[in-house]
């Protein structure tokens, strides 16, 4: 027994001799890191106070020249704040290094018909590639989030604002600006980086754009991914809780953000701005419109353009005579080479289904051309599952197309909802339902279509630029009080 006791004591001493140096190293490294962060914070504060006369309000939007709904939110928010806080200086952090600030502003006018009343400064970031999904074939959410931390640090060191607003969903930048930059921070959330719906997709092993087939078919890999998602959801909630003001674009987004960030006391639904007024000159009474189905949305994987093409193909097979007179027009923006390759794959799909002559692609077109297509089309098509909101859907309804959207997310809860108890559009969730709905809409009488158009137009007036700007200013009031009057 004594020998066993001595042996045990020897093992304990050995473990202690190995553990103590390790603990010492950890304590020293932690202290060094703490002092380094403290020094960076002190240096940033000195830089921040050096010769500053006006408060600086900065928006973090690495893809501000992309031309999507999120960019419309950015420009309308800037316009509202510039009109209200005339003495503040406004900054946009962007990774669009291939264009100048003037070209970015010109693009905002061309695509959205928006001009800013005052000057805005662009801070061009060198490391935007660190938030590209293509850089992280595995653990994409974590990789992009850590990449955004590096990008956020670059932004903070180049320009330290007084008020920081993440307008693109990079929540991991919030603690960087709050604790290192000593900024007041807020966020406008278009879409939660992770959601309970994403967790259920992985748990139920359903293949989707964010759940590869080889993972969904493998129970072990699916369980690993579930654990990874839960850990990431915890971290996402932790960084999101740093936001002093939280604005979300829909009921669906609010429900998820409250569950993840625990911010029910400081969250507001601020519907994104849709240029409803730009379509008032379109004659809703014109009939018949062309036998055209139009889709408006960036060429991103989650938009599920392939579902649109396959559904349209099934619809054409339901038309006994004259399928050649029906056309699908896909209108959207391409952010990068990956999006352009996606368009090429979609064109190949059209060829494989023998409907290439019935499908057109319109990439990065001017606003006036978009408006013309919307004025001529009969159906506005949308297929993204759990779309956070859907500005393109509102534009389609304002322009007089009969909307056919996905039966989920913002379209279901906020947009394609009854008006005075009557339908404002149609919802579907798979190829067959979409194809049937297309056939039904084209079979409606001109009078029935006109009535639905009128109801839809009256319904979407709550999504105007003016409504957004008023709601944005009201929601951000406590944050912007530091910018003065």
Q: How many other C-beta atoms are found inside a 10 Å radius of the C-beta of residue 334?
A: 19
Q: Which strands, in side-by-side order, build the sheet including 89-94? A: 121-124, 89-94, 56-60, 163-166, 184-189, 245-248, 267-269
Q: What is the span of the domain harbouring residue 37? A: 24-52
Nearest to 398 by CA among 434, 374, 370: 374
- 294, part of any domain: yes
Q: How far is CA 111 from the centre of its chain?
A: 18
- 17, part of any domain: no
Q: How far is CA 159 from the centre of its chain?
A: 24
Q: Which sign, positive or negative, has the C-alpha torsion 238, 243, 249, 254? A: positive
Instruction: Report the number of distinct structural domains present in the chain.
Output: 3
Q: Which helix (DSSP H) or strand (DSSP E) does residue 164 occupy?
A: strand 163-166
- 104, part of any domain: yes
For 42, the token pair is 């002190």
Question: What is the SS3 assignment for 413?
Answer: helix
Q: Are residues 29 and 105 in the same domain?
A: no
- pLDDT tens across the length of the chain (485 residues): 555 555 666 666 655 565 656 566 656 655 655 555 556 665 566 666 555 678 999 999 999 998 878 899 999 999 999 999 999 999 999 999 999 999 999 999 988 889 999 999 999 999 999 999 889 988 889 999 999 999 999 999 999 999 999 999 999 999 999 999 999 999 999 989 988 777 666 665 555 545 455 455 666 776 788 888 889 999 999 999 999 999 999 999 999 999 999 999 999 999 999 878 878 777 776 666 889 999 998 898 889 999 999 999 999 999 877 788 999 999 988 878 888 999 999 999 999 999 999 999 999 888 889 889 999 999 999 999 888 888 889 989 999 999 999 999 899 999 999 999 999 999 999 999 999 999 999 999 989 999 999 999 999 988 988 899 999 999 999 998 876 54
Q: Distance (Å, rounded) from C-alpha 265 to C-alpha 274?
A: 27
Q: For residue 138, what pLDDT is reported? A: 83
Q: Are residues 242 and 295 in the same domain?
A: no
Residue with token string 């339908």? 423
Q: Distance (Å, rounded) from C-alpha 437 to C-alpha 431?
A: 10
Q: Distance (Å, rounded) from C-alpha 15 to C-alpha 376?
A: 78
- 254, part of any domain: yes
Distances, alpha carbon 217 to alpha carbons 84, 141, 207, 304, 482, in Å: 54, 21, 8, 21, 52
Q: For residue 188, what pLDDT is reported? A: 97
Q: List the beta bridge partners of residue 248.
A: 189, 269
Phi, psi of 141 (to 5 degrees): -60, -45
- 455, part of any domain: yes
Whole-angstrom distance between the N-terminal and C-terminal Cα of the chain?
81
Q: Are residues 288 and 261 in the same domain?
A: no
Q: Are residues 234 and 288 in the same domain?
A: no
Residues 368 and 275 sit within 8 Å (Cβ to Cβ): no
Distances, alpha carbon 108 to alpha carbons 112, 179, 366, 441, 456, in Å: 6, 33, 10, 34, 27
Q: Distance (Å, rounded) from C-alpha 457 to C-alpha 441?
A: 17
Distances, alpha carbon 195 to alpha carbons 164, 218, 261, 290, in Å: 24, 22, 11, 39
For 121, the token pair is 């400064």
Q: Are strands 163-166 and 121-124 parallel, antiparallel or unpaired?
A: unpaired
Q: For residue 153, what pLDDT is reported? A: 94
Q: Which strands, in side-by-side order, build the sheet including 327-332? A: 359-363, 327-332, 292-296, 379-381, 402-406, 426-428
Q: Are residues 115 and 180 in the same domain?
A: yes
- 5, part of any domain: no
Q: Distance (Å, rounded) from C-alpha 84 to C-alpha 305?
A: 40
Q: Are residues 293 and 204 in the same domain?
A: no
Q: How many other C-beta atoms are found inside a 10 Å radius of the C-beta of residue 13?
A: 10
Q: Are residues 341 and 212 in the same domain?
A: no
Cα angle for residues 248, 249, 251 (degrees, 5° grid): 85
Q: Are residues 456 and 324 in the same domain?
A: yes
Residue with token string 């320009």? 159
Q: Are residues 381 and 314 in the same domain?
A: yes
Q: For residue 288, what pLDDT is reported? A: 66
Q: For residue 485, what pLDDT is reported? A: 47
Q: Distance (Å, rounded) from C-alpha 224 to C-alpha 363?
A: 39
Nearest to 201 by CA among 193, 190, 212: 212
Q: Distance (Å, rounded) from C-alpha 105 to C-alpha 124?
A: 14
Q: For residue 338, what pLDDT is reported? A: 86
- 225, part of any domain: yes
For 270, the token pair is 């601020």
Q: For residue 200, what pLDDT is reported? A: 65
Q: Are residues 91 and 172 in the same domain?
A: yes
Q: List the beta bridge partners of residue 402.
A: 379
Q: What ranges make up the beta strands (E) of 398-453?
A: 402-406, 426-428
- 10, part of any domain: no
Phi, psi of 304 (to 5 degrees): 55, 55
Q: Are strands 56-60 and 89-94 parallel, antiparallel or unpaired?
A: parallel
Q: Are residues 247 and 306 in the same domain?
A: no
Q: Are residues 219 and 297 in the same domain?
A: no
Nearest to 402 by CA among 441, 440, 444, 455: 441
CATH number where 163 lies: 3.40.50.2000
């Amino acid at each position: 027994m004594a020998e066993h006791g001595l042996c045990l004591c020897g093992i304990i001493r050995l473990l202690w001799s190995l553990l103590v140096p390790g603990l010492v190293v950890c304590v020293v490294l932690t202290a060094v890191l703490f002092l380094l962060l403290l020094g960076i914070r002190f240096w940033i504060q000195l830089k921040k106070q050096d010769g500053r006369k006006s408060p600086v309000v900065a928006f973090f939007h690495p893809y501000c020249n992309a031309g999507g709904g999120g960019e419309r939110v950015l420009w309308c928010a800037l316009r509202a704040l510039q009109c209200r806080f005339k003495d503040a200086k406004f900054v946009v952090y962007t990774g669009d290094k291939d264009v100048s600030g003037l070209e970015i502003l010109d693009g905002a006018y061309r695509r959205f018909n928006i001009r800013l009343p005052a000057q805005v400064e662009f801070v061009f970031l060198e490391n935007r590639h660190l938030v590209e999904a293509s850089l992280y074939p595995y653990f994409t959410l974590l990789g992009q989030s850590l990449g955004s931390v590096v990008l956020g640090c670059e932004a903070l060191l180049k320009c330290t604002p007084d008020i920081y607003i993440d307008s693109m969903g990079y929540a991991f930048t919030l603690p960087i600006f709050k604790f290192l930059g000593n900024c007041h921070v807020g966020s406008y959330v278009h879409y939660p980086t992770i959601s309970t719906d994403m967790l259920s997709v992985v748990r139920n092993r359903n293949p989707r754009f964010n759940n590869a087939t080889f993972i969904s078919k493998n129970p072990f890999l699916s369980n690993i991914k579930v654990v990874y998602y839960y850990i990431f959801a915890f971290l996402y909630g932790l960084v999101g809780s740093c936001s002093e003001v939280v604005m979300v674009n829909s009921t669906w987004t609010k429900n998820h953000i409250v569950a993840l960030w625990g911010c029910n006391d400081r969250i507001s639904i601020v519907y994104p701005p849709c240029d409803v007024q730009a379509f008032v000159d379109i004659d809703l009474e014109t009939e018949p419109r062309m036998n055209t189905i139009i889709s408006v949305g960036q060429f991103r994987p989650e938009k599920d353009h392939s579902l649109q093409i396959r559904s349209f193909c099934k619809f054409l097979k339901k038309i006994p005579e004259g399928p050649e007179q029906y056309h699908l027009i896909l209108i959207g923006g391409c952010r990068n080479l990956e999006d352009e390759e996606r368009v090429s794959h979609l064109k190949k799909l059209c060829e494989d289904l023998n409907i290439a002559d019935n499908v057109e692609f319109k990439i990065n077109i001017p606003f006036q051309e978009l408006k013309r297509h919307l004025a001529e089309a009969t159906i506005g098509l949308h297929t993204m599952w759990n779309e956070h909101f859907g500005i393109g859907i509102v534009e389609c309804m304002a322009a007089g197309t009969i909307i056919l959207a996905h039966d989920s997310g913002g379209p279901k809860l906020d947009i394609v909802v009854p008006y005075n108890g009557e339908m404002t559009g149609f919802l579907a969730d798979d190829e067959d339902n979409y194809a049937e709905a297309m056939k039904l809409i084209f079979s409606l009488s001109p009078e029935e279509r006109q009535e639905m158009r009128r109801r839809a137009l009256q319904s979407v007036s709550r999504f105007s630029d003016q409504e957004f700007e008023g709601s944005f200013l009201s929601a951000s009031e406590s944050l912007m009080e530091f910018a003065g009057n």
